[in-house]
Each structure stands twice: as structure tokens, then as C-alpha cells.
């Protein structure tokens, strides 16, 4: 079924909580609806934007065009072997429902991506990532509707060119060319838990887990030993996220507002002479990634506020709507932070959030 709604409020469709309007909102629940939608006179030739839950969008104005939203559902096993399972999932499924489904079925791969807001179609566009895992690590292929050629197509994961929060779907060349309709992911029956990233280990120790017992069947069954399991890891990751990140239902936000900048190793060496505690992650021999949260905090932006738009006190990377913020206040705050970081470190940080 296809639903067309004129002059629709996008308030339920963006986690910043801005009551902007779209000239037309179209919701559909089958990939075969797409050719009809794009040839409908209310849509054909008009500017359009496909959204998910709007958890990475900042609408600065009403959208003078068509906003599309998929309700394509369904999670199923496409094929399987003794240790590998291919999962096909509709673009309109909630990402975390897919993570939960995999964990419940004992499939490894998505557990570290638990709790990321948004829908499956957007995950494929954004190459979502957290705790050492990325969508692109698991993707086999992405099914799309090609708006330019009016046909369905399958794009291999290699052709999606996944990089840090990047894919071909976000490039100027292909933005708005493809609507993601479903994804094919490879998960495993006998995976290894990845506890290496961020504060996972500290959180496990705090909860009395052994960090090694899960590696041996014998040790994991020893009396008094609390061994970490797939579902246990998911719960811990959800708890860490909940303690660190603002709930959009309380303070509107779109997660990390800025990307972590990648700079040359030479520049890092130069900066670290003045800032010896500047953290970094090696990208390759010539480049390193610096946490934007550290740069923002050390630039003195913690607690900065313009109107009701503010830097979240527990995580500098997140900008929040403390109640009555206007979109332009969030943009002004973002610009002010970018300038301040650039003045202090000579590094230009860029928004991760899609500003519309």
C-alpha cells in the first residue's frame, strides 16, 4: 500500500525533534511500489529525499519536495552452511530489531552494532559503525531501486565502496539515485566476541564477567565463573550506550554530530609536540584519525550553548536540543565549534549529520 500525505509534519520522522514540514510524504511497504511512486504525477520530476527514522538528519527548513519512507519489512535466512548464515532484511526494519534477532538466533556479527538508532536501509547508506564493527564488514550486497534507470538492481558490497561512515550512496554522483530496498548480510554461527574496543572490557569487569572464560568451553562452565555470551555482550553494549548517549525522546539529537577527522601522521607528530596526550587511531602508514570529541573538549567547547542548542555534557560529539532549540541555532553552534577547533588545532572537523 502506498500512502501520500501533503504538507506532512516531519516531527515523528526526525530525532532532533524539529517540527518541519514536507510538501509531500510518501510511505510504502513493497519494493514494487517504487516504480509507481516515481511515475506518479505528484512525485515525478520533483526533488525528493528518502529517509529512515531521521536519526542522522538535521532539517533546517521545511522540505519543498517529496520525502519518501520505506516500510519494507522482513528478516529471513537466505542461505546457510555449518558456520555461515546469509540474512536478507527489508530496508524498513529497525536496525536494532535485526541485531536482536541475530543475537536471539545465536548469529555473531551484529552484536557490537546493537542500539544504533535508525533503519536497515539507512545503515547501508551510512555504513554505521560502533565498538569496532561496521555495517560494511558484514554486507554481502544491497538491493536498490535505481531511480534514474527505473529498475531494481543488486549492488555488491565491494561496489558500495564502504569507508568510514561512507558509501557510494553518499557521494555527489549517486546521492538520490538509489533507494535501498533490502540488504544481504553474512553472519556467523561460531564467531568470536570482539571486546577490544572502547570501554567494553571495563564495563564487563564492572559487572563481574571474566574476560577470558568464553574462550574455553571448560572455563566457561566452571562454577562461580561469569562467562560473557553473545546476548550478554549485547546487553552490556546497550547499557554503555544508554549511559553515554542522550535519549532522543528526552533531548533531541542525531548522535555524533561530527566525524572524527583524519590527518596526516606528519601533522599529528607536529601537534603532539604541543599536545602530547592527543589520542589517535592509526588509519595507515601515512594517516591517523583523531577523536573529534577530544578536539572539541580541548577547544573549550564543552557546555557551549546557543539558545537551547547545546553540546551534550557527557559526550562532546553530540549536539542536543534542550527543549526549544531552533534548527538554525544547532547550525550556528556547529559552525562555532568547527571554527574554534580549527583556530586551536588547525584541523577542520566536518558534520557527520546530514544537514537538509
Ligand X SMILES: Cc1cc2nc3c(=O)[nH]c(=O)nc-3n(C[C@H](O)[C@H](O)[C@H](O)COP(=O)(O)OP(=O)(O)OC[C@H]3O[C@@H](n4cnc5c(N)ncnc54)[C@H](O)[C@@H]3O)c2cc1C
Q: According to the binding rule CB under 6 A, does residue 90 interact with ligand X? A: no
Q: According to the binding rule CB under 6 A, does residue 232 interact with ligand X? A: no
CA distance 157 to 155: 6
Q: Give catalytic residue positions.
A: 165, 256, 352
Q: According to the binding rule CB under 6 A, does residue 185 interact with ligand X? A: no
* Nearer Cβ to ligand X (227/253): 253
Q: According to the binding rule CB under 6 A, does residue 255 interact with ligand X? A: yes
Q: How far apart are the first and last CA of the chain?
A: 27
Residue with the closest Cβ to ligand X?
A: 52
* Nearer Cβ to ligand X (146/308): 146
Q: Which three cell numbers stand for residue 76?
A: 529471513
Contacts 24+ apart (CB under 8 A), 313-317: 314/244, 314/245, 314/246, 315/244, 315/245, 315/246, 317/256, 317/257, 317/258, 317/292, 317/293
Q: According to the binding rule CB under 6 A, does residue 123 interact with ligand X? A: yes
Q: According to the binding rule CB under 6 A, does residue 37 interact with ligand X? A: no
Of 245, 292, 306, 320, the one binding ligand X (CB under 6 A) is: 245
* Nearer Cβ to ligand X (38/169): 169
What is the 8-class DSSP label of residue 259? P
* Nearer Cβ to ligand X (1/285): 1
Contacts 24+ apart (CB under 8 A), 114-117: 114/234, 114/237, 114/238, 114/241, 115/237, 115/238, 115/241, 115/242, 116/255, 117/15, 117/53, 117/55, 117/248, 117/255
Q: What three-state secondary structure class fits 337? A: helix
Q: According to the binding rule CB under 6 A, does residue 54 interact with ligand X? A: yes
Of 114, 253, 315, 321, the one binding ligand X (CB under 6 A) is: 253
Q: According to the binding rule CB under 6 A, does residue 58 interact with ligand X? A: no
Residues that bind ligand X (CB under 6 A): 15, 49-57, 70, 91, 116-119, 121-123, 125-126, 128-130, 169, 179-180, 245, 248, 253-255, 354
Amino acid at each position: 500500500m502506498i500512502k501520500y500525505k501533503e504538507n506532512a509534519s516531519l516531527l515523528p520522522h526526525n530525532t532532533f525533534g524539529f517540527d518541519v514540514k514536507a510538501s509531500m510524504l510518501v510511505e510504502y511497504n513493497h519494493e514494487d511500489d517504487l516504480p509507481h511512486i516515481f511515475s506518479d504525477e505528484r512525485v515525478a520530476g520533483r526533488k525528493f529525499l528518502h529517509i529512515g527514522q531521521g536519526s542522522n538528519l538535521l532539517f533546517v527548513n521545511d522540505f519543498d519536495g517529496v520525502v519518501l519512507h520505506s516500510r519494507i519489512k522482513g528478516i529471513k535466512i537466505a542461505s546457510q552452511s555449518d558456520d555461515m548464515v546469509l540474512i536478507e532484511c527489508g530496508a524498513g526494519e529497525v536496525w536494532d530489531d535485526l541485531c536482536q534477532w541475530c543475537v536471539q538466533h545465536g548469529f555473531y556479527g551484529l552484536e557490537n552494532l546493537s542500539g544504533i538508532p535508525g533503519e536497515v536501509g539507512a545503515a547501508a547508506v551510512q555504513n554505521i559503525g560502533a565498538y569496532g564493527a561496521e555495517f560494511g564488514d558484514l554486507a554481502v550486497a544491497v538491493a536498490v531501486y535505481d531511480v534514474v534507470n527505473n529498475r531494481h538492481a543488486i549492488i555488491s558490497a565491494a561496489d558500495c565502496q564502504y569507508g568510514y561512515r561512507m558509501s557510494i550512496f553518499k557521494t555527489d554522483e549517486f546521492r538520490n539515485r538509489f533507494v535501498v530496498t533490502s540488504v544481504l548480510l553474512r553472519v556467523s554461527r561460531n564467531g568470536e566476541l570482539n571486546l577490544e574496543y572502547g570501554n567494553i572490557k571495563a564495563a564487563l569487569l564492572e559487572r563481574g564477567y571474566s574476560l577470558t572464560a568464553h574462550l574455553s568451553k571448560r572455563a566457561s562452565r566452571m562454577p562461580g565463573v561469569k562467562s560473557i555470551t553473545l546476548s550478554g555482550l549485547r546487553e552490556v553494549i546497550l547499557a554503555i550506550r544508554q549511559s553515554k548517549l542522550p535519549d532522543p525522546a528526552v533531548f533531541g539529537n542525531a548522535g555524533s554530530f561530527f566525524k572524527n577527522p583524519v590527518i596526516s601522521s606528519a601533522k599529528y607528530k607536529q601537534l603532539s609536540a604541543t599536545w602530547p596526550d592527543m589520542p589517535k587511531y592509526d588509519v595507515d602508514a601515512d594517516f591517523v584519525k583523531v577523536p573529534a570529541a577530544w578536539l572539541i573538549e580541548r577547544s573549550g567547547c564543552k557546555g557551549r550553548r546557543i539558545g537551547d542548542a547545546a553540546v551534550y555534557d557527557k559526550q562532546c560529539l553530540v549536539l542536543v536540543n534542550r527543549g526549544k532549540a531552533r534548527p538554525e541555532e544547532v547550525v550556528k553552534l556547529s559552525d562555532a565549534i568547527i571554527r574554534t577547533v580549527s583556530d586551536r588545532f588547525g584541523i577542520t572537523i566536518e558534520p557527520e549529520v546530514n544537514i537538509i
